[in-house]
Amino acid sequence: MMKEKEKNLYYLDDLSNYKVASDDTNVKGWKVKDADQRTIGKVDRLLVNKETKRVVYLDVEVDATLIEDGHEVYNTSASEGAHEFVNKKGENHLIIPIGTVRIDEENKYVISNEINYNTFSRTKRVSKGADIDRKYEITVLGQYFPDRSHEDETLSDEEFYNRQEFNRSEDRRR
């Protein structure tokens, strides 16, 4: 169990004093599509950073076909060496940074701007409701954006979440 002090992400529905802002769309239950319009799963929950007081990730329950296509294995970036990690049975959730998606309100879809199906299928997953720590965040961001640096675990939450992957933009809606 993660110590409260080390925990920086919380599921929105676990926080009694937090809710989706009235001018934001609640995408819980919506299908999630990759950059090529392939379904990868559905939004299960929203992850909030309490320090910055905002949603920073979508927690996605992945589609069974994505798990099969991922062959239960993903590779870390080349700079970390040739390690392989096995996604265990029951690990069928992954996180997507809020700034990397756009919302299609008309069709009720969340669409990834840059991340494709193959990347999602190789990404390290977690079990439903698992505590998300910075190490997992960095692992996932490294999978999604291997050309960007995400390694600095010493950054404050404000600094860590002040990067393009977490910046929501109204022009992402259509």
When the candidates are 3.90.50.10, 3.30.300.30, 3.40.190.10, 3.30.1490.190, the CATH number that belongs to 23-148 is 3.90.50.10
The pLDDT value given to residue 81:
43
Evaluate whether 62 touches 92 at the Cβ level (below 8 Å).
yes
The pLDDT value given to residue 85:
59
Check whether 2 has a pLDDT greater than 80.
no
What rounded mean pLDDT belongs to the chain?
83
The pLDDT value given to residue 26:
87
Question: Which pLDDT tens digit goes with each residue over 16-72?
Answer: 887 777 777 889 999 999 999 999 999 999 999 988 888 999 999 999 888 887 654
The pLDDT value given to residue 65:
87
Overall average pLDDT of the 125-135 stretch: 93
